[in-house]
Structure 1
Amino acid sequence: MTRLEPGTPAPDFTLTDHTGKQVSLHDFRGRKTIVYVYPKAMTPGCTTQACDFTESLDRLRGEGYDVIGISPDSPSALAKFREKDGLGIVLLSDPEKEMLTAYGAFGEKKNYGKVVQGVIRSTFVVDEAGTLTHAWYNVKATGHVAKLRRDLGLDS
Structure 2
Amino acid sequence: MSSFPEVGAKAPAFSLTRDGGGTVSLKDFKGRKLVVYFYPKADTPGCTKEAIAFNGLKAEFAAADTDILGVSADAVKAQDKFRDKYSLGFALGSDPDKAMLEAYGVWVEKSMYGRKYMGIERATVLIGRDGKVAKTWPKVKVDGHAAEVLKAAQELG
Which range, TM-score by smaller chain?
over 0.9
Distance 2:23 2:150 in 1: 28
Percent identity reads: 42
CA distance in 2, matches of 1:148, 1:113: 32
Count residues with an aligned counterpart: 154
| Cα distance between partner residues in 2 of 1:133 and 1:44 | 28
- Looking at structure 1, the residues matched to 53 and 85 of structure 2 have their Cα atoms a distance apart, in angstroms, of 15
**Amino acid in structure 1 at the alignment position of 2:43:** M
CA distance in 1, matches of 2:132, 2:53: 25
Q: Distance in 1 between matches of 2:24 and 2:141?
A: 26
In the alignment, residue 94 of structure 1 is paired with which amino acid?
Answer: D
**Contact 2:71-2:94 at 8 Å conserved across structures:** yes
Matches within 5 A, 1:1-156: 1=1, 2-111=3-112, 114-152=115-153
Quick one: distance in 1 between partners of 2:77 and 2:141? Answer: 26
RMSD, aligned CA: 1.5
- SS of the residue 1:135 aligns to: strand
| Shift in CA distance, 152/18, structure 1 to aligned 2, threshold 3 Å | closer
* Offset, 1:136: 1.3
User: Structure 1: where are the runs of 5+ without partners?
Assistant: none
Contact 1:45 1:142 in 2 (8 A): no
Work out whether residues 64 and 154 of structure 2, in 8 Å CA contact, stay in contact via their aligned partners in 1. no
Measured after TM superposition, the shift of residue 11 of structure 1 is 0.4
Distance, in Å, in 1 between the alignment partners of 2:107 and 2:29 is 23
- For 1:121 and 1:95, the matched residues in 2 are separated by 16
The amino acid across from 2:22 in the alignment is: K
SS in 1 for 2:146: helix
TM-score by length of 2: 0.92
Report the CA distance between 1:144 and its aligned residue.
1.2
Q: Give the TM-score normalised by structure 1.
A: 0.92
Structure 2 gaps of 5+ residues are: none
Give, in whole Å, the separation in 2 of the partners of 1:29 and 1:153: 18
